[in-house]
Structure 1
Amino acid sequence: MDAQSYGSKNDRAQSETQHDLPRLLDRAARSAGLNRSEWHIQPKGDEQLAVLPASGDEPRLVDDYFRHLASELRHYNGQRTPAARMRLRAAVHHGLVELADNGFAGTAVVVTARLLNSRPLYDALAGHPMADLAVVLSDEVFRSVVAGGHTTLLPSDFSRVTVKEKEYESAAWLTVPTIGAPAANEEARDSSPRPAGGTSVHNDNHAQQLSVTNMTGSVDARGAVFGFGNASA
C-alpha cells in the first residue's frame, strides 16, 4: 500500500498522512473481519508492506478489505480539501516470504513492490481523479481468487494490464473499487486468461461496463458500504 503524491506535501501534511494511514487500514480490516495484529507489517512513511499468515483470508482481503478501505477513504477525504486527500495504490501477490534482519525477503516481496510501482497503477489514479483507491492483483492471485469464484467480484471488474518494472514483466489485473475495471489498451482486450480446467475468463475491458443505481430523493449514505462481502475464507 502506498499513498499517492506524498512527496509533494509539506512536512505537516506528510506527518498527518503517516498518522492517519495505519488507522484507516486498521478500521477497514476490522470491518472486513480481519485482524491486522496477526500481520507482519513493515511501515515506511507513506507506505506499508504487510505479510499475512497462511490462514485462508486471501478472498476476504481481495474482496471485503478493499471495499471497506474505499469506504473509509471516501469518508476521510470528504472532510478534507482536495490538496489534503489521501489516495492509495495497493498491490496483492502471494508466495513464500522470509523474515530477514532488515525486513522481508523473497521473490514474492519483490513482485509485490514491482506491482505497486507499476505505471498502469499510477495511471489508474491519474485517469480517475475522483477515485481514492486503485488495486492491482498479480496474475496468480487473480486466477486463484477472483477467476476461481471465491469472491463476490467478477473477472469483468478487472482490466488485464502488463506490468514491466525493472527485471519483472508479467500480466496483472487492475480495478478501481468505486468504478470497476478501468479502460485498458487494445492489446489487453485480446488476452483473456484461461484458468485450469478450460474455463475462459471473459473480460472485454470496457470502462463503460458499470453497474449504476439511480436514486430519487435524499439519500444519507455517510459511512455506508454498499454490497455484500464474502463472509467465509
Structure 2
Amino acid sequence: MRLVIARCSVDYIGRLTAHLPMAPRLLMVKNDGSVLVHADGGSYKPLNWMSPPCRLVEADGQWTVTNKAGEQLVITLEDVLHDSSHELGIDPGLVKDGVEAHLQVLLAEHIETLGDGYRLVRREYPTAIGPVDILARDPAGSAVAVEIKRRGEIDGVEQLTRYLELLNRDPLLAPVRGVFAAQEIKPQARTLAQDRGIECLVLDYNAMRGLDNSADRLF
C-alpha cells in the first residue's frame, strides 16, 4: 500500500463530473489497484475513489487514474508532504468474536452456567429438522435442550419450540425442558419463551472466557 499526504485537487471525469478544490488530503494506492482520496473527516468513507481494475499514470505532478470503463480520476499535486509504501501481505480476514459457534463451545465447556449439577450430553444433538445446540442433563437427570443465539429474538424461540416438540417424542429423552440462551434477549422473545415454559438465560461472554471476574467489581 502506498500512502501519500499532499496538497492536491481532484477531478472525476466520467458519467458525471466532480471537483475537489486544492486542499491537504490523504491518497491511498492499494495493491489491488484501487485509488482512494481521503480527508481528515468523514469517517471511513473516501471523498472520491476509483475501484479496480484501473491504471495509474504519474507525470508532471499529476496522477491520472483510468478504469476499464474509461472513467478518470485526475489528481493534481501542488505539494507532497509524505510518500511511503508498505507491504501488508495477505490479510487473514475478519474473525468475529462472540458469534454463536463461540458461545456454544464456551457453554459446553462451562455447562455449570446452566446451574449446579448440570452435565453435558453432547453439542449439536441431531433432530429431524437440524441439530439443537446443546443437550444436557439437570441434577435430577432430566434432559435439557439449549438453543444459543448471540441476540435472542422470537425466531430463536420458535426454533427451540420445534426442537422440543421432536425431542419430546423420544421416550428415552422425554420430558425435555428448553433453555433459550443468548447474550441479549429481546423482551418479546422472553415473553414468548416464558409462555411456552422455556427458561431464558443471558450469557456473559467475557465471564465465560474468564475475562470478567465479578469479585473484582466495586458494584
TM range (shorter): under 0.3
Q: Give the TM-score, by structure 2 length.
A: 0.23
Structure having greater relative contact order (Cα 8 Å, sep ≥ 6)? 1
The structure with the largest helix share of the pair is 1
User: Rg larger in 1 or in 2?
Assistant: 2
The structure with the largest strand share of the pair is 2
